[in-house]
């Protein structure tokens, strides 16, 4: 794949991306069109791997049907949602809590009947008129007492919704007070929905509070010779279970996952790991950065989506530990796993190669799932993130250039210093230089664009109108997004794979996950069902609203 990066993606010669972009932008009012023009980029990767600049992490235009959610969704729904034994208490009217009530299909595996699992619960202060007028803090305190009485959790997180910030309720003050009163850890998140431009703000807020209130509380040395944390893996469809299986077999200990299949105690103990591995760069890089500064734990970017990527990631982790036995064990494991993987890959490739895919989802999935498609010969012709920043597109090298705007400034950046007692650089200066000399890269993320072919389209925060146009022009074999887009796209006769909730499927991570995913894509793009629902361009060039079977 690497060799073709600078060549145009084959199979899309019929579409001129420049013309398409002009057409997309022209349909908007002038001011809106100017803004969108920055967020719609025709990819070009030069010899040095340089890519063009893209507009990202900017406010959504009102009245455009966006894929994006809010700060609360990123904080409570995404980052804290998958932790089973922290009670997540939504402070606000009922909707926010209800809509984030285990809707992301995060899985968890309690250790036994005695192990708490609150993920199937939805806790809310359910604010009413009088609380908005007179303040909701009293109700919040009472709700916390009730939860403590009924459930005796190890910790309670309080999540602020839009009206809470506006009426001046101080969730942090209440948290401190109740922590004192009840003697368990209680912490607040100022993740009001209007903060920031998308759920990305909520990820950052969640990272900050976890780092401040939980990480580092338990110094018990974790067991194992090769200890890592897995950051930015949320165990949708059991992804984390498959990664845990691989790690177990490789003899690598996962101290804590942020936050798939996670527990409070594991977060508290996570600073005893010797390496942080980052899956979803967008949602969790803050914790990785802060743990490096405070505890001396280096971080690397990893990717368990795709069989070859999983193998590459395992080798990278083994090389970090510079242990011959581990390196050998990892090689043996990869060789064993690849037998079945390769068999299925070839079979599916024979039916899928050459077909086109589009991915518009998340802050990392739209990038990493391209590997899975590439392995079965499918080409990604357009992709984009819902809520990513420029570094997720252009790579971390662009970080110093990113302008801090008013929306970003409202999200706190924690000032982190090395911990006087716990700071312990896991690698000596000498070891670091040795590794770097061998080409080992720390804090490395080159972003989505460097790995996509020139001439492909990169669209940030895609709107529904743009989605329709893309489908019409490229006629992809599959489109990947979320449930909001699913049925609109499938009415056009295009299979739509959900990469948020996996359409009840999964796992798709690791070796077994790759097999699952390919089988699923094979079923979807080669199903006969689409034949009953002809897409407009398949039969009549004139668009008419007639029934598919007429």
Partner 1 sequence: MKRADYVSTTNACKLCKPLGACLAFRGIEGAVPMLHGSQGCATYMRRYIISHFREPMDIASSSLGEKHAVYGGGPNLKQGLKNLMTKFGAAMIGVATTCLTETIGDDVPMIIREFRKEMEEAGDGPGLPSLVSVSTPSYSGTHMEGFHAAVGAVVDQLCAGDLLCANSEGKFVNLLPGFLSPADLRHLKEIVADFGLGCVMLPDISETLDGPALEDYEKIPAGGTPISGIKRMGCAAATLEFGRTLEGGATAGMILHKRFGLPLHQSGIPIGLRETDAFFKALEQASGMKTPEKHQSEKGRLVDSYVDAHKYLFGKRAVIYGEEDLVIGLTAFLAEIGIKPVLCASGGRGGRFASCIEHVTAGLLETPPMVEEGADFQKIEELCQELAPDLLVGHSKGYRLSKKLGVPLIRVGFPIHDRFGGQRTLHAGYRGTQMLLDRIVNAVLEKAQEDSAIGYGYM
Among 97, 232, 298, 306, binds partner 1 (CB under 8 A): 97
Under DSSP, is residue 144 helix (H, G, I), strand (E, B) or coil?
A: helix
Cβ atoms of 453 and 373 within 8 Å: the answer is: no
In angstroms, give the least distance from the CB of 139 to partner 1. 5
9, 56, 70, 155: the active-site residue: 70
Q: Does 487 bind partner 1 (CB under 8 A)?
A: yes
> Rounded to 10 degrees, what is the CA torsion of 537, 543, 545, 548?
-20
E strand map for 77-198: 86-91, 123-124, 155-160, 185-189
Question: Binding string to partner 1 for residues 162 to 181, with x set by CB under 8 A, is what?
Answer: xx-xxx--------------
In angstroms, give the least distance from the CB of 153 to partner 1. 12
Half-sphere exposure of 367 (CA within 13 A, CB side): 28
H or E element, residue 233: strand 227-233
104 flagged as catalytic: yes
Q: Does 182 bind partner 1 (CB under 8 A)?
A: no
Q: List the interface residues with partner 1, window 23-42 (CB under 8 A).
A: 27-29, 32
Instruction: Give, in order, the Cα–Cα distances in Å from 321 to each of 181, 227, 252, 432.
Output: 44, 10, 10, 11
Q: List the interface residues with partner 1, window 61-90 (CB under 8 A).
A: 61-73, 89
Looking at residue 59, the DSSP 8-state letter turns out to be P
Task: Determine the Cα–Cα distance for residues 460 and 361; give it in Å rounded to an integer.
Answer: 10
In angstroms, give the least distance from the CB of 465 to partner 1. 6
In angstroms, give the least distance from the CB of 208 to partner 1. 17
Which one of the spans 137-145, 181-189, 367-375, 432-440 is the region binding partner 1 (CB under 8 A)?
137-145
Backbone angles phi, psi at 168, to 5 degrees: 85, 15
73 flagged as catalytic: yes
Among 6, 121, 418, 425, binds partner 1 (CB under 8 A): 121
Cβ-proximal residues to 538 (8 Å cutoff; 6+ apart), any chain? 493
Parallel, antiparallel, or unpaired: how do β-strands 185-189 and 155-160 relate? Answer: parallel
Q: Does 543 bind partner 1 (CB under 8 A)?
A: yes
Which one of the spans 4-12, 337-345, 361-369, 460-468 is the region binding partner 1 (CB under 8 A)?
460-468
9, 56, 73, 480: the active-site residue: 73
Among 57, 161, 262, 263, binds partner 1 (CB under 8 A): 161
Q: Which is nearer to partner 1, 165 or 363 (CB)?
A: 165
Angle at 500 between CA 497 and CA 503, to 5 degrees: 45
Which one of the spans 257-265, 358-366, 511-519, 542-550 is the region binding partner 1 (CB under 8 A)?
542-550
Q: Does 363 bind partner 1 (CB under 8 A)?
A: no
Q: Which is nearer to partner 1, 353 or 529 (CB)?
A: 529
Q: List the interface residues with partner 1, window 489-518 (CB under 8 A).
A: 491-492
Cβ atoms of 289 and 299 within 8 Å: the answer is: yes
**Which residues are known catalytic residues?**
70, 73, 104, 203
């Amino acid at each position: 794949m690497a060799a073709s990066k600078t060549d145009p993606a084959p199979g899309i010669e019929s579409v001129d991306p420049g013309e398409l972009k002009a057409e997309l932008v022209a349909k908007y009012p002038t001011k809106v069109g100017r803004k969108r023009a920055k967020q719609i980029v025709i990819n070009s990767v030069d010899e040095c791997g340089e890519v063009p600049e893209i507009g990202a992490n900017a406010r959504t235009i009102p009245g455009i049907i966006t894929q994006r959610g809010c700060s609360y969704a990123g904080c409570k729904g995404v980052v804290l949602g998958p932790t089973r034994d922290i009670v997540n208490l939504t402070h606000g009217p009922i909707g926010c809590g209800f809509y984030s009530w285990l809707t992301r299909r995060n899985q968890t595996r309690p250790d036994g009947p005695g192990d708490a699992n609150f993920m199937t619960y939805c806790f809310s202060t359910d604010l009413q008129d009088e609380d908005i007028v007179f303040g909701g803090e009293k109700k919040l305190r009472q709700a916390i007492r009730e939860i403590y009485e009924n459930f005796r959790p190890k910790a309670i997180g309080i999540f602020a919704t839009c009206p809470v910030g506006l009426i001046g309720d101080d969730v942090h003050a209440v948290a401190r007070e109740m922590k004192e009163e009840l003697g368990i850890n209680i912490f607040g998140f100022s993740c009001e929905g209007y903060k920031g431009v998308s759920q990305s703000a909520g990820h950052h807020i969640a990272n900050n509070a976890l780092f401040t209130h939980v990480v580092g509380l338990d110094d018990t040395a974790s067991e194992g010779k090769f200890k890592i944390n897995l950051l930015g893996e949320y165990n949708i469809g059991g992804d984390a279970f498959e990664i845990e299986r691989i790690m177990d077999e490789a003899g690598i200990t996962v101290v804590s996952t942020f936050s798939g299949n996670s527990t409070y105690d594991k977060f508290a103990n996570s600073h005893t790991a010797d390496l942080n591995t980052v899956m979803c760069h967008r949602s969790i890089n803050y914790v990785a950065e802060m743990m490096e500064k405070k505890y001396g734990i280096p971080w690397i970017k990893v990717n368990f989506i795709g069989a070859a990527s999983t193998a590459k990631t395992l080798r990278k982790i083994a090389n970090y530990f510079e242990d011959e036995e581990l390196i050998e064990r990892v090689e043996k494991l990869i060789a064993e796993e690849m037998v079945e993987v390769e068999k299925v890959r070839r079979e599916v490739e024979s039916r899928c190669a050459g077909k086109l895919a589009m991915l518009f989802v998340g802050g990392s999935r739209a990038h990493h799932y391209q590997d899975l498609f590439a392995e079965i010969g499918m080409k990604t012709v357009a992709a984009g993130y819902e809520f990513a920043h420029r570094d997720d597109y252009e790579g971390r090298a662009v970080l110093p250039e990113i302008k801090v705007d008013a929306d970003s400034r409202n999200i706190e950046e924690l000032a982190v210093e090395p911990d006087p007692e716990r700071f312990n650089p896991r690698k000596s200066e000498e070891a670091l230089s040795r590794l770097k000399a061998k080409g080992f890269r720390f804090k490395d993320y080159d972003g989505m664009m460097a790995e996509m072919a020139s001439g492909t389209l990169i669209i940030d925060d895609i709107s529904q109108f743009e989605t329709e146009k893309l489908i019409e022009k490229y006629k992809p074999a599959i489109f990947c997004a979320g449930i909001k887009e699913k049925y609109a796209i499938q009415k056009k006769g295009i299979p739509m794979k959900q990469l948020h909730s996996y359409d009840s499927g999964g796992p798709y991570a690791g070796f077994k996950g790759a097999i699952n995913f390919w089988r699923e894509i094979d079923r979807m793009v080669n199903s006969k069902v689409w034949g009953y629902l002809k897409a407009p361009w398949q039969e009549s060039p004139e668009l008419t609203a007639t029934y598919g079977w007429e």
